[in-house]
Structure 1
Amino acid sequence: MTAATTGTVSAEQFRELMGAHPSSVAVITTIDEQGTPHGFTCTALCAVSLDPPMLLVCAANTGRTLPVLTRSGHFAVNLLHTRGQRAAEAFTSRTADRFSAVPWRPAPGSGLPLLEQDAHTVAECRVVRLDPAGDHTIVLGEVVRTGSCGDPAQALLYGLRTYATWPPATETTPRD
C-alpha cells in the first residue's frame, strides 16, 4: 500500500506540501458578548457560492477565537495587502491582546473589528454552518457586507514559509 491509502503522511509532511502552495492572507475577526475583539491569521479560506455569496474559513479547534466566533455567529474577513504583514504576524502570536498591535475600528452596525490600515478588502459574514475537520473547524459564512479599505494595494500572500506580494512588483528595464 502507498502512503496515500494508509494515511502515513506526517503532520510535518502535510505542512510542507501545503506550504508550497501560496495562499492569500487574511485576519479573521469577531467580538464577544462584552465587545472584546478576537482574531487569528488565516490562509485557509475560499469562495464557496455566488448565490447566496458564501465563503469558508478554517479555524483551529485549540484557538481562542473559534469559541467566540461560534457564540457570536458573525465574523469579518480582512484580506491583507502587502503592508499588512505586521498584522499577519501579530495575529499568529500567542499574545492575548493582538489588537493592540494594529489599528482597527468597529464596523458600523455589527461592531466587527476591521483592520482598515492593513486590509485591502473586508467581508462581514454570518455563520451558516460549522463542520469539525480534524484539528480545525470549517466555518461556512454568508457574506452580508463587503467593502474596500481606501488605498488599493497589492495582496499579501504566504507560501514556502515566506510572505510575498501579488501581483509581484515589476522591474522597469531601461530600453536602448
Structure 2
Amino acid sequence: MQDELTVARDAFRALMGSHPGGVAVITTADADGNPYGFTCTALCSVSLDPPQLLVCAGNTGSTLPVLAARGSFTVNLLHGAGRRAAAAFAGPAAERFRTVPWQPAPVTGLPALPQDAHATAECRVTRLTPAGDHTVVIGEVVHIQTHTPATEAAPLLYGMRRYATWPV
C-alpha cells in the first residue's frame, strides 16, 4: 500500500518531465581505459569557490561504480546537433562509444565528445551522497574546454519526453 504522504512514481516522473533541462553526457573510464557514460539532465552548479557541480547517477547503471573508483568524470554539455549522442548514451551500454566519436580530454584523459558538446568540464569527485535510487556526485571542476562558440552552439534541452534546442 502506498503511503499517503508519498506521490506515485509515475506522477513524480510526469512532474519532473514537464520541467525541461539541459542535456549532458557524463563520461569516465575504468583502470584499463574502457570508457563508460550516461545521458544526464540532473546537473547543476554547486559552488564558484571552489568551482563545483553536481550530477545524479543511477545506482543500477554500469557507470557509477566506475566513476566512483576512478574519482573523476567529464561533463559533456550537448548542443542541438548532439541528439544522436544523447540517445546513444541513454540506450544500451555496449553501443554508447561505438556510435559516438570521442577523444581523450586534455587533463584527465577521460572521454570527451567534442563533436556533440559545445563544452566539456573535467571534474574530480569530492563527494558521493546516496539519494534514493540515485547517487549525487559532486565534482570539483579542474578544466573547462569550449568546443563551439556560444553563438553557434544552442544547448540541447529535454522535457515533456522530447528534445528541443534553445533558440539562439
TM range (shorter): over 0.9
Secondary structure (helix, strand or coil) at the match of 2:52 reads strand
Residue equivalent to 1:149: 147
TM superposition score normalised by structure 1: 0.90
- CA distance in structure 2 between the partners assigned to 1:109 and 1:128 by the alignment: 17
Residue equivalent to 1:124: 122
Residue equivalent to 1:173: none
Q: Which has the larger radius of gyration?
A: 1
Residue equivalent to 2:96: 98
Match of 2:10 among 9, 12, 15: 12
**In the TM superposition, what is the alpha-carbon distance from 1:94 to its structure 2 partner?**
1.8
Which amino acid in 2 is paired with 1:130? Answer: L
Residue equivalent to 1:84: 82
Kindly report structure 1 stretches of 4+ aligned residues shifted beyond 2 Å.
Answer: 5-8
Residue equivalent to 1:36: 34
Please list every run of 5 or more consecutive structure 1 residues that lacks an aligned counterpart in the other structure: 170-176
Secondary structure (helix, strand or coil) at the match of 2:94 reads coil
- CA distance in structure 1 between the partners assigned to 2:4 and 2:138 by the alignment: 30
TM superposition score normalised by structure 2: 0.94
- CA distance in structure 2 between the partners assigned to 1:10 and 1:135 by the alignment: 15
- CA distance in structure 1 between the partners assigned to 2:6 and 2:120 by the alignment: 38
Residue equivalent to 1:73: 71
- CA distance in structure 1 between the partners assigned to 2:91 and 2:158 by the alignment: 16
Secondary structure (helix, strand or coil) at the match of 2:129 reads strand
Deviates more, 1:46-55 or 1:7-16: 7-16
- CA distance in structure 2 between the partners assigned to 1:95 and 1:147 by the alignment: 26
Give yes or no for contact 2:88–2:95 (8 Å, CA) kept in 1.
no
Which amino acid in 2 is paired with 1:146? Answer: I
Please list every run of 5 or more consecutive structure 2 residues that lacks an aligned counterpart in the other structure: none
